[in-house]
Amino acid sequence: MSSDDSLHIRVKYFNAQVRELTFKIKKSTELKKVFEVVAARQYKDIELSSIKFLFNDKLISETDTCQSLKLKEDDEIDCCTHSEFLLIKILEELSMTNELSFSDLLEKIKDIPRYAIHDLSFVHLAVISMTKNTSLEDFPDEVSRRSGLFCNGTTQSYLLHLACYNEHCPTSIINLLVEQYPDALRYWETKDDYRQSNGLPLHYYLSREKNIDIDAVKMLAGAYPQAIVTHDDDEMQSTPLDIVISNSNIKNKCDIITCLLDAKPSSISYVDRWGRTKLAKTCIMFNGVDSLFEVVQLLYNEYPEALMISDDYGRLPIHHLCDNIDLDDSTSLDILHLLNKDDAAALLMISDDYGLFPIHYAVINKSANFCKELLAMSPETVRSETFRGNLPIHTACHSGRVDTVQYLLEVYPESAHIANFYGYLPIHGVILNGSEMVDRHTAALELLLEYDPGVASKVETEMLRLPLHLACHTGNLHTIQLLFDTYPEAIWARDRNGNTPLDLLWKSDSIGNIPLIKFLEGQLKYVSKHESQGNDSNLPLYRALYDNATLGVIKLLLDGSSDTLQLANSQGLLPIHIACEFSSVKVVNYLLDKQIAVLSARNSDQKLPIHLLCESGGEDESVSYVETIYRMLLANPEL
């Protein structure tokens, strides 16, 4: 053999006990013969097709020759398994990502047992440990906790799924894995104790918390478009489009949604486990999502039919929008106008399977301003009833939405006296739900009582209980005080079982009821239902006024009569003088309502009631105190 016809080449092994072999071969001979010898000597249990040969980092085929590759004497050919080849590429990317020396990384792993590379466990480790803070000292022992739990250091996870799930893994690695394992795009990753979700690589990639590259989405979606309409196996059975909508970490939602729709236009018509369309799911999203309105607009324009598609509970996208308590008013109104620009009235008159109209959801979760806009589009829905006969005002009272309750009373005043199918008025709903959000429900109760005090005397028809009876069930002292002051006769009223409000408190056997029992019993000590006032100057009314008793007690003692208001006690004081002296603003206003003439009555010191009220200081000069003085001044301009 002429020296010009042959040459020596060296084949170097990656991660092996024998580092290289030298071969003498003709320039025109196919390198397949060398490959076969290498496989027989170094990789006895591995098929030749699974071994990679590279020259100058480029793959060599079996039909290549030294001549075709322009090999020179003593040139080196690198040899590695398929998994080793992947590892090299991954480490190259890792070194560039973290600005580490590739040669140092190779030196770091040179003593890793070959089986760890052949079974791909180390390749998995390299993929999941790819983070921006990887250091040469820690690699490969340190892995991120999140990715580590996902993989659990085993070979049970597909490399492509791991790369898609790890937000630090760059698109170049994903491209490499797709190129090497295109079938993995169709592989289903199984849920276990360490993975909280499962699905195809596209599902995993779109579930990332950051670093979602639209080029990678295009590549994954284009390589396997069927993935776009494939549901994962989590609770909601989401498609990739659902994941994009739900993932608040994605900032360029519209671009990615458009990308997915371009690859698979039919994906927009797919629904989730509960039959919700993409438009409905977007209306559920919270306020942290950027450009939410633009996403809704995009989905609506692409699939306007979704507006009238109900989910498994009969809810349309408009129901979900009105039920979204986390979405701000401005965005909610923009979406409302978009969804209702064609036939608003018809859409708002559709109830779900529970008989709830959009307005019923809105009065619970949205502002009064939103509800006003909703009713402006469909005014008749203020009279819409659920299957239980609840009007919007019943629902608003249940949730304690004060501003909304006030607006509903303005547009439909009669609703305060309309009972649902169980015989409950709005006031009953406020009281029964008052233990959940005390401040809101108390304010709503005050509003109802101010609007019409007569509702405090209305019984619910099921157990014939007054609001005071119901308040004894919820156990709120302030509510009981309000109701007693408004309609004190309820303290003696009996329900269908013959119980008074006090009886109900005693029978509940709760230590929390002790302050409530003390309050009601304290009111009864001033008055008996059959007690006579007489003509004595030391009347029970005066004793109660000197004790600064509640307005309810004063009402019971007066028993509807105005005569006592002109009867002075032994000190020459009328009831109005004593009430002003003790700054009992509620009592003062009640006495003025009964007989305004008492304003001009002077006591033995020639002082008018207004003088005594001003001298009292009045609850740190509260709003009600100032308003009462102003009322008295209007009634006596000469003062």
Residue 503 counted as domain residue: no
Q: What is the pLDDT of residues 590-602, one digit of tens each?
A: 999 988 888 888 9
The answer to whether the peptide bond before residue 467 is cis (omega within 30 degrees of 0) is no
> What was the pLDDT predicted at 255?
94
Q: Which of 219, 252, 270 is the last residue of a domain?
A: 270
Whether residue 138 is found in the same domain as residue 210: yes
Judged against a pLDDT cut of 80, whether residue 157 lies above it is answered with no
Contacts of 376 (CB under 8 A, 6+ apart): none
Q: Range with the lowest mean pLDDT among 56-60, 317-321, 397-401, 442-446?
A: 56-60
Confidence of residue 52 (pLDDT cuts 50, 70, 90): confident
Q: What is the pLDDT of residues 176-220, one digit of tens each?
A: 778 877 888 988 865 444 444 578 999 989 988 888 999 999 999
- Our CA angle for 460, 466, 469, nearest 5°, is 115
Supply the range of the domain harboring residue 258.
Answer: 120-270
Whether residue 69 is found in the same domain as residue 148: no
User: Which secondary-structure segment (H or E) carries 410?
Assistant: helix 402-411
Calculate mean pLDDT across residues 85-101.
58
How far from chain centre, in Å, is Cα 29? 69
Whether residue 131 is found in the same domain as residue 226: yes
How far from chain centre, in Å, is Cα 554? 48
Calculate mean pLDDT across residues 518-537.
70
In 3D space, the residue among 384, 367, 386, 374 whose CA is nearest the CA of residue 339 turns out to be: 374
Q: Cβ distance 31 to 62 under 8 Å?
A: yes
Judged against a pLDDT cut of 50, whether residue 638 lies above it is answered with yes
Burial of residue 593 (CB within 10 Å: 0-12, 13-18, 19+) is exposed
Residue 609 counted as domain residue: yes
In 3D space, the residue among 327, 249, 250 whose CA is nearest the CA of residue 285 turns out to be: 327
Residue 164 counted as domain residue: yes
Judged against a pLDDT cut of 70, whether residue 108 lies above it is answered with no
The answer to whether the peptide bond before residue 113 is cis (omega within 30 degrees of 0) is no
Distance separating alpha carbons of residues 587 and 585, to the nearest angstrom? 5
Q: Cβ distance 35 to 65 under 8 Å?
A: no
> What was the pLDDT predicted at 19?
66
Q: Give me the CATH number covering residue 25.
A: 3.10.20.90
Whether residue 124 is found in the same domain as residue 252: yes
Q: Range with the lowest mean pLDDT among 294-303, 434-443, 503-512?
A: 434-443
DSSP class of residue 401 equals -
Tokens 């949604």 -> residue: 257
In 3D space, the residue among 403, 477, 380, 498 whose CA is nearest the CA of residue 434 turns out to be: 477
Judged against a pLDDT cut of 60, whether residue 149 lies above it is answered with no
Distance separating alpha carbons of residues 309 and 517, to the nearest angstrom? 54
Report the side by side order of strands in the sheet with 75-81: 20-26, 6-13, 75-81, 51-55, 58-59
In 3D space, the residue among 355, 251, 354 whose CA is nearest the CA of residue 294 turns out to be: 251
Whether residue 133 is found in the same domain as residue 71: no
Express as a percent the part of the chain with pLDDT over 70: 79
Residue 179 counted as domain residue: yes
> What was the pLDDT predicted at 385?
96
Whether residue 126 is found in the same domain as residue 49: no
> What was the pLDDT predicted at 277?
95
Whether residue 75 is found in the same domain as residue 124: no
The two three-digit tokens of residue 225, written as one number: 């478009």
> What was the pLDDT predicted at 99?
52
Domain count, the chain: 3
Whether residue 73 is found in the same domain as residue 138: no
Confidence of residue 316 (pLDDT cuts 50, 70, 90): very high
Confidence of residue 118 (pLDDT cuts 50, 70, 90): very low
Residue 431 counted as domain residue: no
The two three-digit tokens of residue 550, written as one number: 């509640």
Provide the pairing of β-strand 20-26 with 6-13. Answer: antiparallel
> What was the pLDDT predicted at 239?
92
Residue 579 counted as domain residue: yes
Whether residue 202 is found in the same domain as residue 67: no
Residue 212 counted as domain residue: yes
Q: Cβ distance 480 to 520 under 8 Å?
A: yes
Calculate mean pLDDT across residues 379-406.
95
- Our CA angle for 364, 426, 496, nearest 5°, is 135
> What was the pLDDT predicted at 353?
95
Whether residue 132 is found in the same domain as residue 216: yes
Whether residue 147 is found in the same domain as residue 257: yes
Q: What does the chain come to in residues?
A: 639
Q: Which of 240, 270, 300 is the last residue of a domain?
A: 270
> What was the pLDDT predicted at 18?
52
> What was the pLDDT predicted at 236?
65
Q: In degrees to the nearest 10, what's the CA dihedral of 280, 375, 363, 305?
A: -10
Q: Give me the CATH number covering residue 237.
A: 1.25.40.20
Residue 10 counted as domain residue: yes
Tell me the CB-side half-sphere exposure of residue 7, using CA atoms within 13 A.
17
Cα distances (angstroms) measured from residue 378 to each of 63, 345, 388, 396, 403: 77, 5, 21, 18, 19
Q: In degrees to the nearest 10, what's the CA dihedral of 548, 554, 557, 560?
A: 160
Mean of all residue pLDDT scores within the chain: 82
Q: Which of 49, 64, 80 is the last residue of a domain?
A: 80
Cα distances (angstroms) measured from residue 185 to each of 220, 227, 546: 8, 8, 85
Calculate mean pLDDT across residues 131-137.
43
Tokens 């009831």 -> residue: 575
Buried b (16+ CB within 10 A) or exposed e, 191-213: eeeebebbbbbbbbbbbbeeebe
Judged against a pLDDT cut of 70, whether residue 608 lies above it is answered with yes
DSSP class of residue 275 equals -
- Our CA angle for 221, 226, 229, nearest 5°, is 95
> What was the pLDDT predicted at 113?
43
Residue 78, beta-bridge partner list: 12, 54
Whether residue 20 is found in the same domain as residue 157: no
Judged against a pLDDT cut of 70, whether residue 124 lies above it is answered with no
Q: What is the pLDDT of residues 14-49, one digit of tens each?
A: 655 456 788 888 888 999 888 888 888 877 777 788
